[in-house]
Amino acid sequence: MKKQQATLFCIGYGDTSKAVADILRPRGWQVVATSRSEEKADRLEAEGVTGIVFDDHGDWTPPEGAHWLISTPPDEDGCPGFREFGKHAASAGWLGYLSTTGVYGDLDGGWAFEWTTRSPDNKRGERRVESEDAWWSVREDTNVFRLPGIYGPGRSQLDRLKDGDTKRIVKPGQVFSRIMVSDIASCVAAAIDRDLKGQVLHPCDDEPAPPQDAITFAAELLGMELPPETPFDEADLSPMARGFYSECKRVSNARTKSLTGWLPEFSDYRAGLKHLAALQDQN
């Protein structure tokens, strides 16, 4: 009997889902992904990905036994992916939901572990908690990947400095954990390889650090003048950015490493930014 082709079903297809697909497709996996328009679905088809229009899929149902990766951010009514496909979750062979470390709220610089109690400080975090619970309500074995600040090609301090769109905001004691997009993908792939079920995982680097340190290092790599320091209390920030600074925590990845055998390729922001700077030099 012919073995069924392994399938990755992506509910949402942004940078992270694409990076996971780029790992699995060379192994012979089929990739199916939702899109918001026929035009984007056609672009996915040109990349070798089967595109399904999110709001207009008719009677289409996900392939039996597929590995699901859900990355749609919640709206005021919850997780759009859950509303659209949650009723089919029983057919999945594996589920992974991309959430955020924002569910822990502010820990005043303390450590968030995979078992830390969720205590969000804002509506965005509350919606993530509701979305995690929604998926767990239909599949207790859903894996939840809680992501810190994400950076990667085209979305790092290097790019913001070049665009003149960054400030060196200083808030004493503030630290963030980070992760390169490709390292999220390799962590998800490692969880799939080990067939992990029902785990909370922290794909993050090994060194939480102040945000101004990453900007300083990026400016040094680019040979650019540093933006002047701006005290947090004087910074003209959007409500979302201000909310981001309202949470201070360090995120531990020790248990995640143990469960998956995964190690981040870019263990701190310096390694990641050096890599991205080298890529820019090549282009």
Model confidence pLDDT, tens digit, residues 99-124:
999 999 999 999 999 999 999 999 99
Model confidence pLDDT, tens digit, residues 17-55:
999 999 999 999 999 999 988 899 999 999 999 999 988
Which residues are CB-neighbours of 209 under 8 A, at least 6 positions away? 175, 176, 178, 268, 269
Structure token digits, residue 282: 């090549």
Mean pLDDT of all residues in the chain? 93
Residues paired with 7 in a beta bridge: 30
| 211-222 and 269-282 helices, crossing angle to 10° | 30
pLDDT at res. 1: 46
Cα–Cα distance, 271 to 277 (Å, whole number): 10
Mean per-residue pLDDT for 153-166? 90
Residue 59: pLDDT band (50, 70, 90) is confident
Instruction: Tell me which residue of 215, 104, 224 sits closest to 170, measured CA to CA.
Output: 215
Model confidence pLDDT, tens digit, residues 217-242:
999 999 998 888 888 887 777 777 77
Output 282 or 104, whichever has higher pLDDT: 104
pLDDT over 70 percentage in the chain: 99
Residue 3: pLDDT band (50, 70, 90) is low
Q: Residue 96: what are its φ and ψ, rounded to 5°?
A: -135, 130
| 181-193 and 15-24 helices, crossing angle to 10° | 50
Model confidence pLDDT, tens digit, residues 187-211:
999 999 999 999 999 999 999 999 9
Residue 148: pLDDT band (50, 70, 90) is very high
Question: Can you tell me whether residue 146 is helix, strand or coil?
Answer: strand
Output 32 or 163, whichever has higher pLDDT: 32
Which residues are CB-neighbours of 133 under 8 A, at least 6 positions away? none
Residue 178 Cα distances to 93, 118, 146, 181, angstroms? 30, 19, 11, 10
pLDDT at res. 265: 98
Residue 6: pLDDT band (50, 70, 90) is very high
